[in-house]
Amino acid sequence: MTLLTRPGRESVVLYPEVTETDSDGNVRTRPSDTGVPSSATVQPVTTNDDDDNAGYSSVATYRLRLPRNAPVLGAQSAVEWRGDRYAIVGDARVYNGSRRTAHVDYVISRG
């Protein structure tokens, strides 16, 4: 069992992306109302933002790696971790160099 196949140490609730049609007939995506419990590996991400805040940032950004059998999350999905709700930032990062190292990473952010 490798680090990529064993379950993560953190418990999260995943809210996968769902599609709905509004009253005007427009198709919209949003996080599901129903959460799916999962294990995950959550690690902090460092960023090089050159904001006007001179190094003071209140944005919490993490790398999220789910087990291989977890549902694929879209850009409008949400993740609940340690009582806080996080949004998916950008698209999933798919690593498929070999079968042994294949995995999907997400960047999640709150702030």
Residues 32-57 have pLDDT tens digits of 999 999 999 999 987 655 555 566 66
Dihedral class, residue 14 (left if φ above 0, else alpha if ψ from -120 to 50, else beta): beta
Q: Which pLDDT band holds residue 110 (cuts at 50, 70, 90)?
A: confident
Does residue 4 belong to any structural domain of this protein? no
Residue 61 · residue 89 · CB < 8 Å: yes
List the CATH number of the domain containing 88.
2.40.10.370
Does residue 1 belong to any structural domain of this protein? no
**How many folded domains does the chain comprise?**
1
**Residue 96 is part of which domain span?**
10-110
Does residue 33 belong to any structural domain of this protein? yes
Does 6 have pLDDT greater than 80? no
Does residue 30 belong to any structural domain of this protein? yes
Does residue 2 belong to any structural domain of this protein? no
Does residue 47 belong to any structural domain of this protein? yes
